[in-house]
């Protein structure tokens, strides 16, 4: 094989160009798309990519957050501020409203609301008539996602049928849907956790403070650090410790665990990510530990 002569893009530039292309395809092919924005690092990358794709114009879609009501204040405040800075419209729909309507029924008061986000998301899709939801999921996150399409088709019930997905060739994405059906579009499918952190560093993206090392009261349980909060108080016999931690994903308080870390800068987080020995979800998602296939199950029910 000959030596490299032709000028090619660096890997981050290539990933960025691909993601911009996907975002523009969604905007070009879909009548009423929406971008799912949580304030987390993956969706913050999506926002930067959308700026690169559509500025100086406005985004051709609003932002939507499905709020479990169990998010860290640092993250929801950041979410609101970021949307305001961008001058884009943010829609928030909450799982608590679905509970009031009776469409979400918890098995018990302490049950995680995380998986019930699917119901609220489907209700929002119906309310606004969205035909596509842009999400920040990545194929490297979990086994069940390795075969996910960039444009993933969901039926009228929001269900993902792994056997009924469209072949995806070249960069000819097929985002067509009939009324009531929905496309989930994943512009950063081909990114890994390390790519995300490298991009955040390169683009100097601001992040919610809890991504960086801070001291927090936690209880050690099943190899995970469980944060002690109003929602998740210590139980009798629990040993509460103040530990230097950071979050690698920011989700529902009841099911997102921090990891022990002194990484208080992006450089340190990057170094730690490159040497880390635990996958992102394995370290931090308490609900994923219960079943290897739990993500796949949730996706079938209409989760991202």
Partner 1 sequence: MSALENLPEIDNGLLRFLTCGSVDDGKSTLIGRLLFDSKTILADTLNAIEKTSARRGMSAVDLSLLTDGLQAEREQGITIDVAYRYFTTGRRKYIIADAPGHEQYTRNMVTAASTANLAIILVDARKGVQVQTRRHSYLASLVGIPHLIVAVNKMDLVDYDQASFERIKADYLAFAGQLGIRDVRFIPLSALNGDMIVDRGERLGWYQGPTLLEILESAPAAHTERAENFRFPVQFVCRPHDSANPELHDYRGFMGRVESGEITVGDAVTVLPSGASSRVKAIELGGVPLPKAIHEQSVTLLLEDEIDISRGDIIVKSAEAPEPVKQIDATVCWLSETPLSPARTYLVRHTTREVKARLAKIDYRLELNTLAHEPASGLAMNDIARVTLKLAQPIVADRYADNRATGAFIIIDESTNNTVGAGMIG
**Residues 16-45 close enough to bind partner 1 by CB under 8 A:** 16-18, 20-21, 24-25, 27-28
Element (H, E) at 22: helix 11-29
Site for partner 1 in 273-302 (CB under 8 A): 274-279, 282-283, 292-293, 296-297
Q: Which is nearer to partner 1, 21 or 220 (CB)?
A: 21
Specify the DSSP class assigned to residue 21.
Answer: H
Enumerate residues 205-264 that contact partner 1 by CB under 8 A.
Answer: none
Nearest residue (CB) to partner 1, 215 versus 277: 277
Closest CB to partner 1 among residues 53, 263:
53
Tell me the HSE value of 4 on the side-chain side, using a 13 A CA sphere: 4
Stretch that binds partner 1, among 11-19, 77-85, 95-103, 104-112 (CB under 8 A): 11-19
Q: Rule CB under 8 A: which of 171-210 touch partner 1?
A: 171-172, 174, 176-178, 189-190, 192, 194-195, 198
Sheet holding 214-221, edge to edge: 224-227, 214-221, 240-246, 259-260
Task: Tell me the closest approach of the beta carbon of residue 130 to partner 1, in angstroms.
Answer: 17
Question: Given candidates 30, 53, 228, 266, which one binds partner 1 under the rule CB under 8 A?
Answer: 53
- Rounded distance, CA 81 to CA 62, Å? 15
Angle at 105 between CA 102 and CA 107, to 5 degrees: 160
Task: Choose the binding region for partner 1 from 6-14, 63-71, 110-118, 251-259 (rule: CB under 8 A).
Answer: 6-14
Tell me how far, at minimum, the Cβ of 159 lies from partner 1, in Å.
Answer: 13
Measured from the CB atom, is 37 or 186 closer to partner 1?
186
Helices (H), 249-303: 266-275, 280-284, 294-300
Q: Which residues contact 122 (CB under 8 A, 6 or more apart)?
A: 157, 158, 302
- Under 8 Å between Cβ of 45 and 193: no
Binding mask 54-73 for partner 1 (x = CB under 8 A): xxxxx-x-------------
How far apart CA 66 and CA 77 sit, in angstroms, is: 14
- Report the DSSP beta bridge partners of residue 241: 218
Cα–Cα distance measured from residue 3 to residue 284, given in angstroms and rounded to the nearest whole number = 43
User: Smallest gap, in angstroms, from Cβ of residue 118 to partner 1?
Assistant: 18
Contacts (CB under 8 A) with partner 1, residues 70-89: none
């Amino acid at each position: 094989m000959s030596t490299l002569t032709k000028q090619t893009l660096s890997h981050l530039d290539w990933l960025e160009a691909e993601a911009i292309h996907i975002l523009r395809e969604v905007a070009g092919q879909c009548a009423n798309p929406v971008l799912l924005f949580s304030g987390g690092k993956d969706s913050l990358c999506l926002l930067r990519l959308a700026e690169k794709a559509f500025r100086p114009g406005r985004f051709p879609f609003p932002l939507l957050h499905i709020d479990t009501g169990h998010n860290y204040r640092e993250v929801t405040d950041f979410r609101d501020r970021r949307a305001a800075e961008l001058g884009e419209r943010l829609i928030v729909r909450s799982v608590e409203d679905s509970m009031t309507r009776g469409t979400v029924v918890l098995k018990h008061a302490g049950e995680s609301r995380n998986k019930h986000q699917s119901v609220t998301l489907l209700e929002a899709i119906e309310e606004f008539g969205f035909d596509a939801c842009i999400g920040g999921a990545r194929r490297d996150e979990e086994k069940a996602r390795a075969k996910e399409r960039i444009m993933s088709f969901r039926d009228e019930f929001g269900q993902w049928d792994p056997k009924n997905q469209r072949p995806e060739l070249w960069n000819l994405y097929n985002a067509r849907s009939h009324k009531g059906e929905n496309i989930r579009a994943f512009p950063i499918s081909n990114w890994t956790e390390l790519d995300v952190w490298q991009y955040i560093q390169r683009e100097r993206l601001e992040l919610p403070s809890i991504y960086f090392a801070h001291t927090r009261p936690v209880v050690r349980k099943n190899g995970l650090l469980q944060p002690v909060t109003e929602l998740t108080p210590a139980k009798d016999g629990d040993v509460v410790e103040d530990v230097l931690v950071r979050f690698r994903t920011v989700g529902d308080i009841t099911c997102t665990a921090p990891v022990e870390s002194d990484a208080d800068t992006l450089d340190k987080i990057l170094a730690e990510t490159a040497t880390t020995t635990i996958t992102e979800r394995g370290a931090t998602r308490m609900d994923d530990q219960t079943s290897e296939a739990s993500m796949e199950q949730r996706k079938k029910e209409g989760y991202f």
